[in-house]
Structure 1
């Protein structure tokens, strides 16, 4: 198997980008700051801010505990509840699928780079392996980008969520803006896209001389070396002795 380690430097960087992007995607899924609600005239929400993630809705309050102490109250958002808007349902499903597909993509990158650097499987189609890995990373990024963009659109158009009374959330916020959870998710998605593109751009080196092919572009010359000179009289005089 030819030496190929020098051909996969960009793909080694792609593996690093994919791992960081996958980690950021996982972090974004757990953050509650997807949609930040600004609320006024609420006894429960003492800070004036409420955070709506894809799994929980939370706010700070000191009405249910000792005055002067602040505690965060959170309620779990279930996938099957009727009040959950479609953008949050899509985020719960697609972000999980994105993590699974992205994990497979990173594993494929490790496998492909192992074959390149160590040549442990000579029969593996390396170019095809990198292409499949890149496709998985791009698919994972698309899966995460859809709910991220959908929730951004809901924030921009000031869409509300009709929470049940036990959530103690207002029927509508005074205003809302995009939280850092969406920002982290977009950063992770961008890194996954870059990783997938780098994987797909891998090319095997073209051999200089292929088997059964004779290069006729360079003419071949035969070199004849001849020695010419005069006879040495001293050497001939010794032969006659």
Structure 2
């Protein structure tokens, strides 16, 4: 059984980073503050702010209230609707795939660390397991990075969305800025990338054959050490 636990301290940190990054990606997917619209008409949108997320478009209103949202009016954004922009379609698909691949990557990290800590010699090599884990983490990061950057570009270029009348959204905002949903997703993506890089940089320890041969040699007493045999000890051995 090969003891490798002392070589995987960085990979243990990478697993923690991967779990935190995966969690932040999941949180970002559920947030509605991806794109924040600033509107001047406060008759319907009381706060003057509307939020466009991956799954819903919402705003605070004292006139329109959705059940369960108190003073917030929300409408779901469907994947198959004609008005849904391609960057939101990509977000709904790729972010979910990113969560699935990231979950597999974190599970692979647990499996690889288990093999390293318990010396599973009959299992696949530890280095191969860490490489596979790193590849999955980085693939998950790329899948989430594409829709995040796409939505970020849409905000920077002030792209609008032709919402249907039931959404009660204006045809175009006065201005818009990036919401915390994209920021949280970016942080989670960066953590997943760092985690994947650390997993991929794992190196198996190289054994020194010379050192091993040296350890196998019997210990010989040094010449001229001046030591003498103890007759009492030799008589005790013959008993």
User: One fold, TM greater than 0.5?
Assistant: yes
TM-score of the two chains, using structure 1 as the length reference: 0.85
- Alpha-carbon spacing, 1:226–1:6, altered in 2? closer, same or farther (3 Å): closer
Q: CA deviation at 1:25?
A: 0.1
In structure 1, the residue matched to 2:30 is 30
Alignment partner, residue 75 of structure 2: 75
Task: Give the drift of 1:225.
Answer: 5.7
Deviations 1:27-85 (A, max 9, x none): 000000000000112421011000000100000000136xxxx6001000000000000
Task: Please give the per-residue CA displacement for 1:94-152, whole angstroms capped at 9, x wherever unaligned.
Answer: 00000000000000000000011112453321100000000000000000000000000
Q: Distance between the aligned counterparts of 2:93 and 2:64, measured in 1?
A: 34
Aligned residues: 217
- Which structure has the greater CA radius of gyration? 1
TM-score, normalised via structure 2 length: 0.86
For structure 2, the 5+ residue unaligned runs are 215-221, 227-239
* Equivalence for 2:119: 119
Give the Cα separation in 2 of the matches to 1:49 and 1:114.
49
Closer, same or farther in 2 for the Cα pair 1:7/1:48, shift >3 Å?
same
Tell me which residue corresponds to 2:129. Answer: 129
Partners of 1:85 and 1:56 lie apart in 2 by 13
What runs of 5+ residues in structure 1 fail to find an aligned partner? 216-222, 228-241
CA distance in 1, matches of 2:210, 2:61: 74
Q: Which residue in 2 is equivalent to 1:102?
A: 102
Which secondary structure state, in structure 1, belongs to the residue aligned with residue 2 of structure 2?
coil
- Inter-CA distance 210–199: structure 2 relative to 1 (3 Å threshold): farther
1:214–1:119 Cα change, 3 Å:
closer
Shift of 1:2: 2.0
In the alignment, does 2:209 pair up with 1:209?
yes
Partner Cα distance (1:88, 1:199) in 2: 31
The CA distance in 1 between the partners of 2:104 and 2:210, in whole Å, is: 35
- The reply on whether 1:171 has 2:155 as its aligned counterpart is no
Query: What residue is the counterpart of 1:219 in the other structure?
Result: none
State the 1:15 CA deviation. Answer: 0.3
SS of residue matched to 2:73:
strand
